[in-house]
Structure 1
């Protein structure tokens, strides 16, 4: 077990947080904290957890506020008394190691009309999402919270979309990020070159490799791919290295998209 994150155990399922395929839940854990539990048995399975883990921790490396991530165990006996069949099926399919995000009680959803983000911060967030190929920080779903008057980044499960097909991952690593045109903070992202320089000063090969090495073995045993966990880890490492080396590609894409937008 990696010691990169703490590991806790679910003690109580409180409630689902929203409708939809993933159906994350609010739970209590044995450290007396509440967590938003992302289930490996939901939606895109462990790949969404991998995206959440890598995306969230890379955001933290870049200095953003991200709720603490924990590995969170779900015992095989848990949820047998759950009345909702859909939730019971989800719990049954998620026994073992899942991912939890510390619950920010009282946080409110970021509203770009109400809260203005400075150009430096906006540019760094746009850079982050282009780097990890996060398609899901739009006006429709900002995936940011305001908590204690500070901006927090959440929900990176839609990142690294190449791993859902595992085809042409090297090409994706070198590509522009065309989805940046829909980014909620693009209008304020006037300092992309500065954000690029800052990110390169923070993200080293050693740090990125250490992060990928912390992925749990059980999340890397894929039935749809004939590859070992170490081989899968190597692809993630290579993807991040190539993407960082070719960051000017997506930086230019963001700058061009912003020029069209404004």
Structure 2
């Protein structure tokens, strides 16, 4: 189970994200980026954050630590922004916190070079979880102390928004043509050989167990939170077995021209040629 803390002070909103996350201090003296249960995307965004964040960490990728975060809406009474006040009022109880990385910078492919091995692991992981939101338009990557960190996994495992497509989701290909790391020659084959064998039913069962029952209870078509967890395990286990062969990388895999902007492809290719 994820550690649990209590929010003690709302510091400031982060308006880069559509769900309006906020920087919050907690009773363990830590500072967190808080994702709210009352945001428009609802609890499934938090479920995706937990499953993908914990899975990424177990695979050795850099993902900020996660905590369960209790929120008393009273901490937002002094917040002058009515939108933030409404969000806090709607989010009383259990929410999700991610360790805040002070001084981190948004990933810039023109300023930070990524090796083929690391790029391959990130692309393979995003293919596994069906991440539609790690494009050059919105990288959802940070650079902290010279290392690449993965954040914002709310727009992943999108099949849980319509469980009727469960079977198709297990074998759905992944188009990485617009992935922000596609121009860095990601070694997807090596990543698959390294990471796929580590995706076991036991590992996925442990990861999904970190999702609070309250966020799974009452899911249509399932009789218990554990039944929902087994559905996540089933899809991810099946995807891990062959997703490495279903990734399209555009120009570099021979499947067509890269969809990344010319300025990015030319810059990265130029650096690689030196």
Q: Please say whether Structure 1 and Structure 2 have the same fold, judged by a TM-score greater than 0.5.
A: yes
Structural RMSD (CA):
1.9
The 1:146/1:54 distance shift into structure 2, 3 A limit, reads same
> 2:196 maps to what in 1?
200
Report the Cα offset of residue 231 of structure 1: 1.9
Q: How does 1:10-159 map to 2 (within 5 A)?
A: 10-18=7-15, 21-159=18-156
The answer (yes or no) to whether the contact 2:196–2:241 under 8 Å persists in 1 is no
Secondary structure at the counterpart of residue 246 of structure 1: helix
The 1:11/1:83 distance shift into structure 2, 3 A limit, reads same
> 1:177 maps to what in 2?
174
> 1:189 maps to what in 2?
185
The 1:57/1:135 distance shift into structure 2, 3 A limit, reads same
Provide the TM-score with structure 2 as the length reference: 0.87
Gaps of 5+ in 1: none
Gaps of 5+ in 2: 259-274
Report the Cα offset of residue 204 of structure 1: 2.1
Report the Cα offset of residue 255 of structure 1: 6.9
Report the Cα offset of residue 81 of structure 1: 4.1
Secondary structure at the counterpart of residue 134 of structure 1: coil
Q: How does 1:160-171 map to 2 (within 5 A)?
A: 160-171=157-168
Structure-2 separation of matches of 1:181 and 1:189:
11
The answer (yes or no) to whether the contact 1:36–1:102 under 8 Å persists in 2 is yes
For 1:213-237, what per-residue CA distance to the aligned partner results, in whole angstroms no more than 9, with x for missing partners? 22100111246x2423122112111
Structure-2 separation of matches of 1:167 and 1:201:
28
For 1:73-110, what per-residue CA distance to the aligned partner results, in whole angstroms no more than 9, with x for missing partners? 11254424433222122112111111111111111111
Secondary structure at the counterpart of residue 182 of structure 1: coil
Report the Cα offset of residue 191 of structure 1: 1.7
Structure-1 separation of matches of 2:218 and 2:82:
26
Q: How does 1:199-218 map to 2 (within 5 A)?
A: 199-218=195-214
The answer (yes or no) to whether the contact 2:64–2:99 under 8 Å persists in 1 is yes
Provide the TM-score with structure 1 as the length reference: 0.91
Report the Cα offset of residue 62 of structure 1: 1.9
The answer (yes or no) to whether the contact 1:217–1:229 under 8 Å persists in 2 is yes
Structure-2 separation of matches of 1:258 and 1:247:
15
The 1:229/1:209 distance shift into structure 2, 3 A limit, reads same
* Match of residue 243, structure 2, among 242, 247, 262: 247
